Chain A
Amino acid sequence: DQQVKQNSPSLSVQEGRISILNCDYTNSMFDYFLWYKKYPAEGPTFLISISSIKDKNEDGRFTVFLNKSAKHLSLHIVPSQPGDSAVYFCAASGGGTSYGKLTFGQGTILTVHP
């Protein structure tokens, strides 16, 4: 049973436009949601997070939105840059599991064209 799902394996966007990456979850006990960015042959790096008590968190060009009723979160990147091309993973924590244990989605490959 996959508790965190990223249904779009890939996304292609023109430089300067908005990139929207989506993530759905099933466990209503999750209390934190995180986005990680991963380049090939490297480990993921933390990008931005949101607590379940909020519906929006913004950090520069990156904004994460959380819709608890729909069990859906999204990452908006505005404006998109070629250096943003990477795999993006959403992850969730809590849900009755041990602290610090994250459940990851499958990832979405973002390609930003110049």
Chain B
Amino acid sequence: DGGITQSPKYLFRKEGQNVTLSCEQNLNHDAMYWYRQDPGQGLRLIYYSQIVNDFQKGDIAEGYSVSREKKESFPLTVTSAQKNPTAFYLCASSTTGWGLAKNIQYFGAGTRLSVL
């Protein structure tokens, strides 16, 4: 079954700690994305990557870091600089190119991060 796997489902962070959220896809997609969802708000883009070893900041990148060493993997690190990390984090992937297909993003089930 092709899809996107996020782990863990729930994560707790202590103050001053960095935590890493995992995202793996087997859809052979070039592009991957990280979003944050807060209650009553839409999804806000944190980082995205169109190709291996390259990534760009989204709208709310401060306090987060990513890497893209493999096509299948796009881990997100929530650093201690992110002062309000409690949220639902969603990873997505898509093809690249032209037309509608590149805009259809496929999402994982999400990771809920809470601060202890």
* Chain A residues within 8 Å of B, Cβ to Cβ: 4, 6, 9, 32, 34, 41-46, 49, 51, 89, 93, 98-102, 104-107
Contacts and interface: CB of A to CB of B under 8 A. Distances in A.
A45 B107 CA distance: 7
A72 B39 CA distance: 24
Contact of B103 (A4, A42, A93, A105): A93
A84 to B, nearest CB: 19
Contacts of B85: none
**Which 4 pairs, one residue from A and one from B, show the smallest C-beta to C-beta distance?**
A43-B107, A104-B42, A93-B103, A104-B43
B82 interface: no
A43 B42 contact: no
Contact of B109 (A42, A49, A93): A42
Interface string B65-98: 0000000000000000000000000101010111
A99 B56 CA distance: 12
Given A43-B107, A102-B105, A51 B48 contact: no
A105 B105 CA distance: 15
Given A89-B43, A98-B56, A100-B48, A41 B110 contact: yes
A43 B56 contact: no
A100 B50 contact: yes
B42 to A, nearest CB: 4
B91 to A, nearest CB: 8
B25 to A, nearest CB: 12
A89 B40 CA distance: 11
Contacts of A6: 42
A22 to B, nearest CB: 14
A62 B41 CA distance: 24
A9 to B, nearest CB: 7
Contacts of A93: 103
A6 B40 CA distance: 11
